[in-house]
Structure 1
């Protein structure tokens, strides 16, 4: 156990830093936790979503207080395949994240000063050390003129025109007349044209029979999709011997770019750690992140196939085929816990990309 009177300072009050602070405050009351955030709100302006299967049963206490919305299933829509999947799906809105943290944490400091801390959770490191594609998006809430009738989220609607890579629309029903609609692209470039995407979102809502007006949330993001790279160089880019979390540690799902499951796992591991000294935290987080990197080579290989072997306008076929697979396999995939048999199932059968091009993309990604 940590000695009474020990303090842990966390730099960055986003998802990763906030969950570590929460975990320590809840499970290690003998530790004085200080969370330092440069913005005016913990968590910024985000909607984070996750499947029930992303979070281990023993870690659910870490996310349960933050969940704003939950559904018992979700839909996917593709030109040649539609499916409803009976799997729990959850969303966290950053306003609730901020509220819960302020209620539970004894010390939150909003400060723009770059300070020394025990755990650094302030965004990405040097992305030039990594080989990347991009998952970029713009989402906004819409108040519809009448009840929209959606019961479950639409996690992927790829029946839309394929533009700028693999394009799909993501829809969350936050109320009977409130929708969060997001335009998402698996693109070769990180640029976003916010004005264009806003009009596409409104046009999509109209086509679905959900006319309305924008409400109080507009969110944009550009997430790195990790195809390959040098983990050691990435880690060194923000200091070799300091503890890190979130994308600062390179912790995200290589395909989805999502970081919430990793943020929960690391926060849980830190809360259980017997030694919370700066040196021990640095060793723990480095080992945790390096092991995750080594385990996820399969997903980076799939990224290489998606971005380097599939034509941009045909990338949707990769996901369309994937969503014909068994539900438990899909759940393990999103949790980055695919079994050997899962990987075989994903790769066997008629591939939606040319074999020769796929092999060349994989070999290039391994260099």
Structure 2
């Protein structure tokens, strides 16, 4: 059985879905198919972002996806200080993304629950025998082991759960980093989103040398954190876990060689995420707008467009990979928090641009200026290319 579209997207996660939504909004003349191997579009995720991460011309679409908006800014907590930053913060839930896709695309154009078995510039083959033919094909699936093997670095891993409380928590804004918790397994912090007066999403996060994740241990630590805040939990709903790469280096040419020839790459499969934070939403929005605004949408044109964009992104990420090398190669285990503690004491605009992946030359000089929060000799060794993390493949 075959179906034909102008554009077919493999991967119904954040990047693939945003491309579909942006095309539906800006190019309604194009027919779009979205294919997701999982049972639902978007999986089970909470994606958060600073409002300033998104260019003004793209904000309307992204704001419409937000399940929660905090215009009073956010807090960070470190052993040396606590600080409130004024930047507005937003969160998108996977069910919001799925609902938006279901509204934007016509019935039958969203395929879920069937794996992709093959991609080529003319279409997508599914495990159930369906063939989706298209003039333009985009691969927005996740990273595979061969691609990871070309990257060097460590891991950001996390477990999160939504807690309904017996009494109001009285929080008015998120805590994006609470590093006052006991440091374990590298740099540890807790992330708290107050979705309603008695409901919070709490995530326990680690910048670790190991990708292994003991979910039950992390959920237990979340229970301890809630108890320490004086919260009585009456119900636990959404649960989420994840392990993301933090990239310190690698061979981008070899990384790109694992792409399907003649097919456009999107999202993390194109390497489009902030190397240090593993943060992908701003880049997903930028690429979605770039694709929607393109003059041509055949596979050859889309592949050329996304290849050039991904290469430029890799070049611009050198500063963030340097900082990641410092964090993983020069900071000593449980002292890694000192790197972020120093960073969050800097100018608020610098912090905003950092998360958006748009640091200026002055920002970079300011981050590197002064006494480093890591041993000087260790930092010099890492800068000289010694002691930096190795390939991501095989790390357990």
1:62, 1:264 within 8 Å by CA — same for their partners in 2? no
- Match status 1:110 vs 2:112: yes
Give 1:239 shift.
Answer: 2.3
Counterpart residue number, 1:237 = 258
The aligned residue for residue 20 of structure 1 is: 19
Deviation at 1:6, TM superposition (A): 6.3
1:119 aligned to 2:138? yes
Q: Deviations over 1:185-214 (max 9, x none)?
A: 000011111111111001100101112144
Give the Cα–Cα distance (whole angstroms) in 1 for the partners of residues 9 and 301 of structure 2: 15
Distance (Å, rounded) in 1 between the aligned partners of 2:88 and 2:362: 24
Q: Which moved more, 1:286-295 or 1:102-111?
A: 102-111
Matched, 1:154 2:151: no
Q: Which residue of 1 aligns with 2:157?
A: 136
Q: TM-score, length-normalised on structure 2? A: 0.89
Residue 255 (1) aligns with residue 276 (2): yes
Q: Which runs of 5+ in 2 are unaligned?
A: 125-136, 391-396
TM alignment of 1:274-313, pairs within 5 A: 274-313=295-334
Higher helix share: 1
| RMSD across aligned positions (CA) | 1.4
1:240 CA drift (Å): 3.9
The 8 Å contact of residues 325 and 389 in structure 2, kept in 1 or not, is answered as: no
4+ aligned runs moved over 2 Å, structure 1: 238-241
Match of 1:196 among 208, 213, 217: 217
Q: Which of 306, 320, 325 is the equivalent residue of 2:346?
A: 325
Cα distance in 2 between the residues matched to 1:284 and 1:62: 22
Distance of aligned partners of 1:199 and 1:6 in 2 relative to their CA distance in 1, 3 Å threshold: closer
2:88 is the counterpart of 1:69: no
Question: Deviations for 1:238-283, whole angstroms, at most 9, x for unmatched residues?
Answer: 3243201111101100111011000000000000000100000000
SS in 2 for 1:173: strand
Q: Is the 8 A contact 2:159 2:203 kept in 1?
A: yes
Separation in structure 2 between the aligned mates of residue 138 and residue 240 of structure 1, nearest angstrom: 36
Q: Does 1:165 align with 2:167?
A: no
Greater Cα shift, 74-83 or 102-111? 102-111
Does structure 1 retain, via aligned residues, the 8 Å contact 2:350–2:359? yes
The answer for unaligned runs of 5 or more in structure 1 is none
Q: How far apart are residue 363 of structure 1 and its match?
A: 2.7
Distance 1:98 1:366, change over 3 A: closer
1:131-183 alpha-carbon deviations (Å, 9 max, x no partner):
02100000000011100111100000000000000000000001111000000
Q: For each residue in 1:82-137, what CA deviation from the matched residue of structure 2 results, as whole angstroms up to 9, or x when unmatched?
A: 10001110000001111111011122111423143400011014201000210000
Q: What is the total number of aligned residue pairs between the two structures?
A: 363
User: What TM-score does the superposition give when structure 1 sets the normalisation length?
Assistant: 0.96
